[in-house]
Structures are given as C-alpha cells and as structure tokens.
Structure 1
Amino acid sequence: MADPDTTSAFVAWFKDHNGALDASSMQLSDIPGHGKGALAVRDIPDGHTLFEIPRDLTLSTRTSSLPERFGRTAWKNYGLDKGWVGLILCMIWEESLGNTSKWSGYLNILPSTFITPMFWTDDDLNELKGTAVVDKIGREDAERDYNEKLIPAIQSRPDLFPPSTHSTCFSVERYHVMGSRILSRSFHVEPWTNEDLEEDHDHGEEDGSDDQENLEANVSQSSAMDVDEPSENAEPPQEQTQKMDEDGEDEEDIDNPADIAMVPMADMLNARFESENAKLFYEENILRMVTTKPIKRGEQIWNTYGDPPNSYLLRRYGHVDVVPLRPPLKGEGNPADVVEIRADLVVAAASHRSKGDMQERVDWWLELADDDTFVVETDCEVPKELISLIHLLLLSRADWQKLQAKEKLPKAKLTSDIIPIAIEVFRKRLEEYSTSLKEDERLLEDPALSLNKRNAVIVRLGEKRILKCTLERLQSLKTTVGRGNTNKRKDMQPSEKSGQGKKARR
C-alpha cells in the first residue's frame, strides 16, 4: 500500500509543475487487488476533463536534458537511440539527481517492486511452460543492452555518472526496475504537428462530432509492442497501441523510440477488459484525460490497454483479467486471449505427406508471407495462413513451380487432405503444456495456490481452451467432410486474421 504522504507529495509536485487536477472529481487511492488507482469522488459526466499534463512534464529522451548533455552524436554511437536503453538511462540518471531532478516528485511514487514474470523464481516460471509468455520475458536481452550499451556509456562520462554511483544508482537491478516501469506504465506520445490535427479531424464522424473526440491522442497506453511479446524491455496485440521492449526487439514497429514517454498522473489509472471510461487526448501543449462515459461516485476510473490477452497482461503488468467468456467458449477467462502456433509445428505435421523440398518451400513462404507464427483467437477459427502453409507443403512439384511463378500463396481452404494435418498441429500444440485442461481447472480450486502460480494457470488455461475448442471443431468437420457434407458446415471457416508472428530468426 502506498504511503499517503507520498501520494500527497506527488499531487503537490504535479500541481507545482503546472499540472491541472480536478480534485473535486478524482482522487488517487489504494484499491484492493489493483494497487494504486483513481476513484471518482462525485458523479462525473461524459466528456469531463479530469486532469491536464503539460507536454514538457512527460519524461522521455526528448524532455530529459541528458541526451543533449551527453551529446547527440555520442548518444547514437553508444546505441542509446535504439530500443528502451536510452529512456532507461534517462530515468536512472534523473533518479540519481535526487530532489534536483525535475521529476523527483514523480519518480518517488513509482513502484520499485514488481510481480511480473521478469522477477519470478524458476519454479514459478516453470508454470508458464507452453504459453506465449516464456520466450518474451527478455531478461537476457535486457541485460545484454545493459552490459553492451549502458555500462560503456556511463563509464565514458564520469562527469555525468560519478563512478561512486555505478554500483547503486546504475546497477543492473535498477536497470530492470526502470525497464519494468516503462513496460507497465509508458505511453506512446508523438510530437504535435498541424498534420496530426488535420488527420485526426479526417477520422471524425461525419455528423460533426465533438472536436475533443477528433483530437483523440496519438497518445496511447504503451503496452509493449509484440505479439511475440518482447521483454521487460519488451505483445499487443493487433488493436493495441505500439510499445517497445527493453531489448528494443520490436523497435522497427514504432517510428521513433523518443515517442515512448512516462506520463505522470495518467499512468496512475488502472485498466480492465472493456472497462474504459476515460481516455488520454492531446493538444499542442498539453495532454488531457477526459471521461468517455458517465462515472458514478465511488467507481474506479479506468484507462485502457487495448484489451490484450492474459499472456500480455501478465508479462507487462503482473495481473490477468477474468470475465465471462463468449461463445464458442464457456466459463470465465479473457475474451481477448490468443494462442500462438509456430510454423515448425505445421512443417513437422505435414512432413510425412510433403511432395517436394520442404526447406525450399519454407524459405519461400518466409520471404512472401513473412510469418512464422500463427495466432488463434477465442473465436476458435483456424488462421487462413496456417491452412495456406499446409497447402503449400502438400503441392505437387508441378503445382509448386506454377505457384512460384505467380508469387501467390495457396488459397486457404479446409479440404479433406488439409484437416487431418491441422488436427495433428493442434494436438501437438496442446502437448507442449505440462498439465491438462482439467488439471488446471482443479488447481484453480485450491485456495492455497500462490498468486504467481494462479496467474500462470489462468494464462495457460485460456490458451488450452482455445486449442481444445478449435481441435474439436476440426474433428467435427473431418467427420462431416468424410460424409460428403462439406457445404453444410459454415461454422468452421478459416480465420481472416493474419498471423501475428515475426519472421524467424534463422
């Protein structure tokens, strides 16, 4: 629980630095199960401004003076302009300045302990085996940046980074803490331009909707950038706003790492699946948090992370969402959950029936489709790219050569020869977990289960439900096809959503 004095000091700091807060509408409080958050202290109407943040009060590599003092050329030479390492260094440096830093009142209220998998024990991490979380934690990548970029940089400027502070302020532990703060709390804040304003107006409704709505921010809650979800440095998935990992693995997905910023006060709002009732908007000199629907007194004020899957929420924020699921799934979980299926599982399942050079076809697929991971969502539809890849692997040599000449992927159609291979893919994917679906359901009934393990079980259970549902539908379709009734099944069409994976590192 946060110290009330620290909260009061933060609010005072915010106001002293030209931040505007409507304290008659909103207050920061400790909320059971959610840490610190914002509560409505009165009924608040839709379209009400809760607080305003001067742009220069956001903390980024644009607003910190460190990059200029270090020298822009040297900043680039040390690789501090790529990924998150530059922002992490700025935050550590500002913290090392103590009360002389412009952001001291803000940094003092930020958490220094986290319950994300980055800080889990090996025993707890084993509970995530088979999930989309394991390969995206990124601790090794983060520490590589620390050792290869940050350490050489601070050693080169003892005037800015006194050697006596290296083992304390600039330790790898502080590096991970700052990286986790960015991962869980940063926003994507682009510079203001007239072009941005015009573009936002173009997206407004034709009926002349409120100008405020047309100014909806390029400011988006930074939830990490990868469905391959990167590390503490690190998925959101598609509708999510772009974010980055400490290791900068996804830096190509964002225009400029300098757009990643810490936004005081805005990052105090929590988020929950489809609960958003406030949103950050931007103007030339300020960012404004505005309600998007009426909020009753005593209710929590929610921002949005874009409703990502639990694997993403756990990795970035250390919590999961559990709400009623939607058909075809039953029970409770996260309706935004996804399962990732690697292309190598597809290749292995099709290998015994392939009629040509598998590697040649896989290489061609990677060049043309740029996808080595397929994403299955809670609609339990087979991704069309997965089906297309199976078709590619099964083509005769002559048909394969024709396809090469056209540079066009095979159509995604679930035929009698494709379905059995797809079934094998989903079976093999289910086998990658160390527990069964029923075992996980029983584990959740244990009141003594630790928080970390409970969250891990919820994540893997959500993935297994999707796999089981899709597998059952494929098996049913196989039976229907076997009877020659392919036209009677319209509930098992391939998903139109593209695979969300990144090209294989080979």
Structure 2
Amino acid sequence: MDNFTTWFREQGGELDASAMGFAIFPDSGRGAIALRDIPEGHALFSIPRGLTLSLRTSSLPTRFGIEAWKQHGLHEGWVGLILCMMWEESLGGSSKWSEYMSSMPDTFTTPMFWSEEEIQELKGTAVVDKIGRDDAERDYYEKLIPAIKSRPDLFLEGSIPKFYALERYHMMGSRILSRSFHVEPWRGDDGHESDESETHGDAPHSDDPNGMDVDADNPSGDTTADSIEPPHEEEVSQLDSAFDGNTDDDEDAETPADVAMVPMADMLNARFESENAKLFYEEHYLKMVATKPINAGEQIWNTYGDPPNSDLLRRYGHVDVVPLGEPLSGEGNPADVVEIRADLVVSAVRKARKAAGDLQVRVDFWLEEADDDTFVLMTDCEVPEELLSFIRLLSLTKDEWNKVKAKGKLPKGKLELELLPAIVDVLKERLKEYPTTIEEDESLLGPDSAVNLSFNKRNAVVVRLGEKRILRGALQKVEALLATQKGKSGKDKKRTRENEADGRGKKAKR
C-alpha cells in the first residue's frame, strides 16, 4: 500500500494519513480503518477528476479513432473500458495508472469464476441468469479481438497472449463490476453532491448511479517522459458525442463513458446500513467525507446502496448477514428480493383456473402496457400489486377481458379472494425451482455443518435461503388469508342453512 499511496499523492491526490489507513478485516478483507477519532464532515481524501480511469481519460479511444471505435462496437457496454484497462496495463510504467492497476485484485469469488458444480448451488436464484459469461465472451470474440487485430501498431502481437487473453478480459470486467463508479461530466450547476446510492455496482458504482461528475479537464499527471498523453478537451467532447444516445433506447441505461475506476475510493468496503463515509463531488475533485463520527479502530464504510445478496454475490463475491426484522426472523439481508417470471405465473394461473385457450394475447397486452415480465417480492413478504394485476388479467372471463382490452387499461392489483388459489400455486411452484428445502439450507448453515462448507457454497446457500424465506413468508400470509376467507364463507353458509331450517320450523308450527 505504501507504493500506491505514494503514487496517489504524486498524481495530485490528497490523503489524511493521520485519520485513515488500511487493514485486513477477517470478514471483509482489505479495507480502510480509522486511525483516530474522526469527526463528521472530515475529508479523508480527495481525488483529481483526471485521475479517474475511464473512456474519457484514457487516451486509447482517440488514438484508435472515434469512428473506428464505434465501428467495432466499443462504444457500447463495458468492452471499450475493459480494452482501455488492458491497454493501460500493457503500457507498464508508461501508463499514468500503472501503480493503481498493480494494486487491484487479480482473483475474485464472484460466480463468473465458479465451476459449473458451484453454479448449480445457485439454481433457482436470481443470480444464474445474470452472470453474463456468454455475453461477455461474445463481446470478447466479436468486438475486442477484431479491434485489437485491426491496429497492430497499438496492440503488439507479442503482447496479446499476456495482456489481452480471455482470462485477463474476465478479470478486468470483474474489476469494473466490483470497483467502478458512475462518473458523469461536470455540469457546473452548483457544486452539488450526487446521491451515492450504490458505489460499487453494475458497474458497481454504476448500476444505481452515484453521480461522480467528471469534467472535461483531464490533467495529464505524467509520471515519465514517455507517458501517454490523455485526450484533450476537444477530443473528450468528441467522445461524449460518440457515446451519447448509445444505450439501446433505454433511458435508464448507463452511458459507457460514465463508468470510471476511481483510485482510493474503491478501497473502502461496504456493509448493509453501515455507511459512515461518502463521496462528494466538486468541479475538479472527488472527496471522501465522513458522514458521521467514526471511532479510532473502526472500519470506514462506503455504500453499495444496500442491494440484495443475489446482487452482492454476483458483483462482489460476498453476502451480507444481519438480523432480520418482521415478518421474517433469524439472520439474512433485509434488502433481499425474489424474482418471479411471468411465464411461471401464466402456467400457475392456467392450472389453478383451468383456463382454456391461448393466454398469449393477454401476455402481449400486459407487456405493451406494463413492459415488465418479472415480479419482485421483498422481505415484507407482501404480494406486489403488479403481480396481482397480472394474475387478475389472466383470470378474467372472456367478456371481462374484452372490456379491459377496449379500455386499454390494466386491472387494479387488488388482493381478491378469487385470486388466492392462483397466488398460492405461483409461490409453491417458485419454491420448487430451488434444489433444496428451507430446512435443508438452515441445517447446512447450522454450527455443526457450516464449518465444512466452502466459501462459495456458503454464499450460495445464504442467497437461496434468503429468497426461499421470502417466498415462504408470502405463502403463509396468502394461505392464512385464504383460510380466513374460507372460514367466513363456511360460517355464512352455516348461518344460511340455520336460517332456512329455522324458517321451515316456524312454518311447520303454523
């Protein structure tokens, strides 16, 4: 760490070494530690915007040529930034970020690097379909490799096996996934701070943008006479024009140039609702500031935005386990969620209602109006209104469906008695998608068994158990409501029969 902090200062970064240091923590690895009592509002370190590593600050895109960059598809997704990082690493000491690159991890515990046997432990969870290995490798072979081969002057043939191999590609992608921030160009509005809702994300500091605003001024910070010059302001403007609007028509999608590696800031770990420091954004610097008093010896925590364990595992290779609140009990992640696919709902409704005919036209109508084929349950174990609306839509009679279609408006998501059997079936079918039961997982995490679990298997069990507990909680709520409604219905029928019998008795007497 001494070499890294020396480099950081030489590049214009400022660090209060009397307040913050680094240590290895048993449960979270290397992280930042308070060396003394730190008051709220104290600046721990500041980072020149030009020291962030992104498509805007690396000189590779402009040296490659913006039009050629776009022709190879490097302006979409993360493949362009991955290539920049690979190239900067290949430059060795000539790269401005050489010392930073060497300080980053080379191994990861994320599912991207798991064996097929280990991934099977995640069957049924939201993780499996989001690992993205196939998509990443498709970009590697269809975009990155052709781009490299087109410019032998930039990518020397002898360096390709060492710096541009598929293994390095996955490693660089994982560095971005676990350590990057969302860094937009400086708008010059009012020196505001961004909402650091998810500092490490998809791109860790990118799935839920935290807004580190990057201006167009990129000081070179050269460390050697042969250092590669960063792009000039005019070139950065060309980059912004090239990348704007290339988000597949998704307004919420992230501009690739806004994903940046931020030295020093990515050293901080995060844990559920433990944040005590946050990045604030100024025109020329990013500053990490204590958001509450931190006692000497305590870990300094940034924030991931408190995502569910499925996302934590996929992005960072770990999970959060803290006490849970009602209606759940025990330990887990209070931010956990369960995803239910629309096709599972269609199957369950067809079975529960014995629906005849093709429901696809209703599904298509739903997708046009709601544009969402996944429903999310949270730790409150409440059935979401969107799911209720979808089940209601699928359960309508032919006449009711024709009226809804004519109005062009989805049914309201009310929890009605007639929907309860279908909801029960949906939840039960979703639980069947996991390879183990709740009881089996709880046993695996028990004190006698947990010591024999590998790190990856333990994390897989924690993720799937958290999801299953939500499903069980929701199922118990719906079944209790169904039983109550049946009880009321039974009492009403009994009362009706008694009233009828009483009426017959009075008539006989007369």
Both proteins in one fold, TM over 0.5: yes
**Residue 75 of structure 2 corresponds to which residue in structure 1?**
81
Contact 1:339 1:375 in 2 (8 A): yes
**Residue 256 of structure 1 corresponds to which residue in structure 2?**
255
SS in 2 for 1:418: helix
Distance 1:218 1:304 in 2: 7
Q: CA-to-partner distance for each residue in 1:306-352, whole Å, 9 max, x for gaps? A: 00000110111111000000100000000000000001111001114
> Which stretch of structure 1 is more off in the superposition, 16-25 or 443-452?
443-452
Q: Which amino acid aligns with 2:300?
A: I
| TM-score normalised by L of structure 1 | 0.86
Q: CA-to-partner distance for each residue in 1:375-411, whole Å, 9 max, x for gaps? A: 0000000011111111111112222121112211101
Q: 2:483 aligns with which of 473, 479, 485?
A: 479
Contact 1:355 1:395 in 2 (8 A): no
Q: Which amino acid aligns with 2:372?
A: D
1:450 matched to 2:459? The reply is: no
Q: Which amino acid aligns with 1:470?
A: A
Distance 2:345 2:472 in 1: 17
Distance 1:92 1:315 in 2: 22
Contact 1:138 1:234 in 2 (8 A): no
SS in 2 for 1:442: helix
Q: 2:467 aligns with which of 438, 463, 470?
A: 463
1:32-111 equivalences in 2 (<5 Å):
32-111=26-105
**Residue 428 of structure 1 corresponds to which residue in structure 2?**
429
**Residue 396 of structure 1 corresponds to which residue in structure 2?**
397
Distance 2:284 2:476 in 1: 54
SS in 2 for 1:417: helix
Change (3 A) 1:240 1:387: farther
Change (3 A) 1:397 1:428: same
SS in 2 for 1:105: helix
Contact 1:416 1:482 in 2 (8 A): no
Distance 2:250 2:11 in 1: 31
Distance 1:437 1:285 in 2: 51
Distance 2:167 2:58 in 1: 22
1:249 is displaced (CA, Å) by 8.9
1:364 is displaced (CA, Å) by 0.8
Distance 1:188 1:49 in 2: 20
Contact 1:347 1:393 in 2 (8 A): yes
**Residue 223 of structure 1 corresponds to which residue in structure 2?**
201
Change (3 A) 1:381 1:250: farther
Contact 1:136 1:234 in 2 (8 A): no
**Residue 132 of structure 2 corresponds to which residue in structure 1?**
138
SS in 2 for 1:279: strand
1:357 is displaced (CA, Å) by 3.5
SS in 2 for 1:88: helix
1:277 is displaced (CA, Å) by 0.1
**Residue 293 of structure 1 corresponds to which residue in structure 2?**
292
**Residue 126 of structure 1 corresponds to which residue in structure 2?**
120
1:166 is displaced (CA, Å) by 1.2
SS in 2 for 1:483: helix
Q: CA-to-partner distance for each residue in 1:121-156, whole Å, 9 max, x for gaps? A: 111111111111111101110000000000000000
Contact 2:197 2:305 in 1 (8 A): no
Contact 2:277 2:292 in 1 (8 A): yes
1:165-184 equivalences in 2 (<5 Å):
165-184=159-178
Distance 1:416 1:33 in 2: 47
- Gaps of at least 5 residues in structure 1 are 1-6, 201-214, 226-232, 487-506
Contact 2:182 2:206 in 1 (8 A): no
Distance 1:280 1:485 in 2: 58
Contact 2:206 2:259 in 1 (8 A): no
Distance 2:256 2:369 in 1: 28
**Residue 191 of structure 1 corresponds to which residue in structure 2?**
185
Q: CA-to-partner distance for each residue in 1:190-210, whole Å, 9 max, x for gaps? A: 111123x38x4xxxxxxxxxx
1:350 matched to 2:354? The reply is: no
Distance 1:220 1:256 in 2: 16
**Residue 369 of structure 1 corresponds to which residue in structure 2?**
370
SS in 2 for 1:146: helix
Change (3 A) 1:485 1:187: farther
Contact 1:116 1:318 in 2 (8 A): yes
Q: CA-to-partner distance for each residue in 1:268-295, whole Å, 9 max, x for gaps? A: 0000000000000100000000000000
Contact 1:82 1:251 in 2 (8 A): no
Task: Give the total of aligned pairs.
Answer: 451
1:251 is displaced (CA, Å) by 7.3
SS in 2 for 1:341: strand
Rg comparison, structure with higher value: 2
**Residue 316 of structure 2 corresponds to which residue in structure 1?**
317
SS in 1 for 2:287: strand
- Over the matched positions of the two proteins, sequence identity in percent amounts to 62
Contact 1:62 1:258 in 2 (8 A): yes
1:484 is displaced (CA, Å) by 3.3
**Residue 329 of structure 1 corresponds to which residue in structure 2?**
328
Q: Which amino acid aligns with 1:53?
A: I
1:483 is displaced (CA, Å) by 2.8
Change (3 A) 1:92 1:249: farther
Distance 1:254 1:285 in 2: 26
| TM-score normalised by L of structure 2 | 0.85
1:152 matched to 2:130? The reply is: no
SS in 2 for 1:280: strand
Q: CA-to-partner distance for each residue in 1:61-114, whole Å, 9 max, x for gaps? A: 000000000001111111101000000000000000001100001001000011
Distance 1:425 1:235 in 2: 33
> Which stretch of structure 1 is more off in the superposition, 253-262 or 341-350?
253-262
Distance 2:305 2:267 in 1: 16
**Residue 386 of structure 2 corresponds to which residue in structure 1?**
385
Contact 1:240 1:306 in 2 (8 A): no
SS in 1 for 2:484: helix
**Residue 337 of structure 2 corresponds to which residue in structure 1?**
338
SS in 2 for 1:484: helix
Q: CA-to-partner distance for each residue in 1:206-252, whole Å, 9 max, x for gaps? A: xxxxxxxxx24579514117xxxxxxx9996xx77599xxxx99976
1:255 is displaced (CA, Å) by 4.3
Change (3 A) 1:430 1:242: farther
